[in-house]
Every structure is written in C-alpha cells, then in structure tokens.
Amino acid sequence: MSTLRPDATEAIEYYFRYITLVAEGDVVLTLARQREEMLTLFRGVSEQHSTRRPAPDKWTLREVLSHVTDTERVFTARGHWFARGMDAPLPGFEQDDMVKAAAAEARSWASHVEEFAAVREATRTLFASLPPEAWSRRGTASGNPFTVRAVAYVVVGHADHHLAIVREKYLVPAP
C-alpha cells in the first residue's frame, strides 16, 4: 500500500538516501503536497535568477529542475512497468548526459516550472490509480531491484533532496 514505507528488501541501500527523506504517510498525498510546495517556491523565482549557478561547475537552477523532472519521468516509467507486471529489466541512465541533452538553458524558466507541474500530476495520478497489490510488485532497473512502492518513495525523496540543495545554494542572495 502507498502508506507503508519501503523496507530494506525493496531497493538497494543507495536509494534509501532518498527514501528516508520522505515523511511517514500516504506517498500519493505526499506527491500532491510536494507538487504544491515546489510550484509555490519555483513560481517565485525570476527568469534571471533561474540561470544562476552556485559555482562555475554546478548546474543552473533551470538544469536542476530539468533534472528533477527527467528523473521523475524515468522513475515513474519504471514504477508503471513494474506495477503492470512486466518482468524485462529496464536500463539505467546517466544524469549528466540527460541534463546536457535537455538544453535547459534554451527554454524559459516558466516552461520548466509548468513542465514539472504536468509531470508531477501525471505521476500522482498513476500512483493513485494502482490497486493495492501493485505496490509490492518488483522489477529491475539499472541492474537493481525495486518495488513499485520504493520507486514512488524515490520520486518524492529525490525531489526533496534537490529542494534542500536549491534552498541552501540557489535561493540565497548573490554575493
């Protein structure tokens, strides 16, 4: 069920760096709450500020949000695949290659924010539609085992991880 936190058998240890960031409760409701929190925050960022980098070798805020959105798409597709009982393993992805290919700087900040809004709503409706037995279904992606429940928690926790970085490094006054 969507209210049970994944246990250690549902994903490899690496992904618990995201899973443990998610508060107890219904992960589908958490997806909706987090969507509103992120939209409120990001709609308050100017186009100019969205192109800032906290350091020369770091992504811009546009690239960060593009990465969060792309990663959510990948993990939600994995969750969908596993929930529907597909057993073929899914490939991994390289985040830096995806960020580069996304060309986030060529688009407006507003377009990134609205894209995230649409993707998150699609994520929420997918997970909300799952029958109870689907949450414990398993699959393999990037050579690692996951349950559908773990995938949903990774989506939320990954966004929380980046929200903390954004607040700490991106939304501070320029020196």
Tokens of 71: 């990663």
3-class secondary-structure state, position 56? coil
pTM, two decimal places = 0.95
| DSSP code at position 168 | I
Mean pLDDT for the chain overall: 96
Bridge partners for 146 per DSSP: 139
Residue whose entry in the numeric block shows the structure tokens 């909300």: 128
Element (H, E) at 97: helix 95-102
The verdict on domain 13-170 having CATH code 3.40.1310.30 is no
Q: Is 3's pLDDT higher than 80?
A: no
List the structure tokens of 21: 């960031």
User: Domain ranges in the chain?
Assistant: 13-170
| pLDDT tens for each residue of 21-33 | 999 899 999 999 9
Identify whether the C-beta of residue 170 lies closer than 8 Å to the C-beta of residue 61.
Answer: yes
